[in-house]
Structure 1
């Protein structure tokens, strides 16, 4: 009986590590897509966009990629786009707001170095995203998982 529990624990840990690896790979790919697309848009004079417009356009494209990749690769969800995409957009908007609020609070209110604000943001947002994507955005569509309806 104890061996069965240990095996089950290893299986759960292994599944968690695989999920974390897929999450990380999708995040890295989305970041590369964002950086590459923003750079191309900025460098392409014939398109005529400002750096801010290029960044926002690239961010939107990376967000669409991120949603589709997390849905199909990271969480393998068969849930409806209608509910999952709406939740993903809300989570992405929350992350965007946090990317403003966290550094602002840490630098302007607490007087910390801007690099601290950036580092905290870089750690906090992906951690919250992983938790919320797993427990809320894609919870209903995952095999063997029950989400809130």
Structure 2
């Protein structure tokens, strides 16, 4: 049975997991922003803004998958099962980011900041839970180890 850090009742192990998770998220966000700007502004590449954003998001998602697998969750599971699960989770996050503004601003008349905040809170929390329990359930070692 795999050892799941989130299920571990040791506060230090859970905190180390949160720090690693947050670190990967911050780096992926910076990578996305830098690549989107580069792809859109580069005369050599010169993508339209939507294409630049999509390409940057794909690159940041690939980085996230590899970093979460090897650093955050230290998974020993095979790519053939974990990569499709990660892709499904990523697409679910995109769907929420698309649907939340439509539902909360258009249908309920709330200010735009509400769906943005909901997305910023719900998606990372959902990702942490699903990555831990479903995408990367196999750990390489018993001890969660230091950050």
* TM-score under structure 2 length normalisation: 0.88
Q: Distance in 2 between matches of 1:124 and 1:89?
A: 18
Q: Offset of 1:43 from its aligned partner?
A: 1.0
Unaligned runs of 5+ in 2: 1-7, 143-147
The yes-or-no answer on 1:71 pairing with 2:69 is yes
Q: Distance in 1 between matches of 2:51 and 2:42?
A: 13
Q: Distance in 1 between matches of 2:44 and 2:84?
A: 34
Structural mapping, 1:1-149, within 5 Å = 9=9, 12-139=10-137, 141-142=138-139, 143=141
Does the CA-based 8 Å contact 1:103-1:121 persist in structure 2? no
Q: Determine the structure 2 residue equivalent to 1:5.
A: none
Q: Offset of 1:28 from its aligned partner?
A: 0.3
Higher fraction of helix: 1
- Please, what is the CA RMSD of the aligned residues? 1.3
Aligned length: 134
Residue aligned with 1:19, SS:
helix
Q: Distance in 2 between matches of 1:56 and 1:32?
A: 15
Unaligned runs of 5+ in 1: 1-7, 145-149
